[in-house]
Amino acid sequence: MTIARGTVVVLGATGQQGGAVAAALRAEGWAVRAVVRDPAGGRARALSAAGVEVVGGDLADPRSLRAAFSGAYGVFSVQPSAGQAGAGLTVEDEFRFGVRVAEIAEERGVAHLVYTSTIAAGATSTGVAHLDVKSRIEDRVRASGVASTIVRPVTFMELLMLPGMGLDRGRLTFLARPDQTMQFIAVRDIGRIVARVFAAPERYAGRTRGIAGDALTGRALGEALTRAAGRPIDYARLPDAVLEGDEVLGGTAALVDSGRLAGDVDLDALREEFPFLSRFDDWLEGPGADPLREAPR
């Protein structure tokens, strides 16, 4: 089934996932309408320069969403995470906003809604509130009258480059144990997958799909970073004192240990479907090259 390239409304287009989705959709010939809080901001202006229609709006303002969704073929739904430092968002805020997007999409006759969740989502609680809320939103999205697809990304490769991960000290510190395998995905690939999903509603509507690009042990992460950086970069799990002193970090590490957050995506099958998926080495030579080069030494 081939569909006409209509307009897809992208939420969070000035952020990582939304920005990747907007770029991928534009590359595939879609008209993209980005809902942003500050249309005059630098990131919004960059979107406009790339051919994206930028409109003012806010998840807290239903009227702005109704206006933005009118006449749209699709909506990409992502909300700021309640677990994100500085977001100023409660778990119930995130739930309310996620449900609101689905309800207004149905009200406005949107043909296809794609919601991005987390690999840890599921029928049973994780015990980490900002992860469990995504399972609740998933349930409401599925129960809505709009055709929907839910993608569950694993941990972003970009997360490994954030300040505080230890690269400035020649050591990456993260959640997995050195010999424990964890799956990762490049944010760019999330955008490319979502663009393919919008293009094939007969294949993807009504489905929930875990998505990943590579699987590496902690030790293998260090080895890949060493090759790419041309200097030794060791790997270590975050210290027990840190994990024990932070309820959210400790709970998240426990989910990695249990496999719930480590990822169990069938990478071979997914790569057959999406052959562009980046392995970590590929990503370090491409989008990850600048963050690695700019990491303090």
Q: What is the pLDDT of residues 103-159, one digit of tens each?
A: 999 999 999 999 999 999 999 999 999 999 999 999 999 999 999 999 999 999 999
- pTM for the full predicted model: 0.95
Instruction: Check whether 3 has a pLDDT greater than 80.
Output: no
Contact 291, 158 (CB under 8 A): yes
DSSP-derived pairing of the beta strands 181-185 and 214-217: antiparallel
Quote the CA–CA distance of 280 and 213 in Å, as a whole number: 8
DSSP-derived pairing of the beta strands 155-156 and 31-36: unpaired
CA-based nearest residue to 200, from 119, 118, 273, 117: 273
Share of the chain above pLDDT 70, in %: 97
Higher pLDDT, 290 or 92: 92
Quote the CA–CA distance of 286 and 292 in Å, as a whole number: 11
Would you state the pLDDT for residue 99?
Answer: 98
Contact 190, 21 (CB under 8 A): yes
Task: Tell me, letter by letter, the H, E, C secondary structure of 104-166.
Answer: HHHHCCCCEEEEECCCCCCCCCCCCHHHHHHHHHHHHHHHCCCCEEEEEECEEHHHHHCCCCC
Torsion over CA: 160, 166, 170, 174 (sign): negative
Summarize pLDDT for 157-179 with one digit per residue, the tens. Answer: 999 999 888 888 889 999 999 99
Quote the CA–CA distance of 244 and 83 in Å, as a whole number: 18
Type and span of the H or E element at 174: strand 171-174
Range 37-43, long-range pairs (CB < 8 A, 24+ positions): 41/14, 43/14, 43/19
Quote the CA–CA distance of 55 and 14 in Å, as a whole number: 12
CA angle 88, 90, 96 (to 5 degrees): 120
Phi-psi region of 12 (alpha: psi -120 to 50; beta: other; left: phi over 0): left
Q: What tokens appear for 119 in the block?
A: 């690999």
Q: Tokens 């999406």 belong to which residue? A: 274
**Over residues 86-100, mean pLDDT:** 91
As assigned by CATH, the class of the 7-153+187-211+265-277 domain is alpha beta
Quote the CA–CA distance of 258 and 277 in Å, as a whole number: 25
Task: Of 25-29, 31-35, 48-52, 288-292, give the lowest mean pLDDT range.
Answer: 288-292
Q: How far is CA 132 from CA 48, 89, 124, 145, in A?
A: 35, 15, 9, 23
Share of the chain above pLDDT 90, in %: 89
Would you state the pLDDT for residue 82?
Answer: 81
Contact 151, 113 (CB under 8 A): no
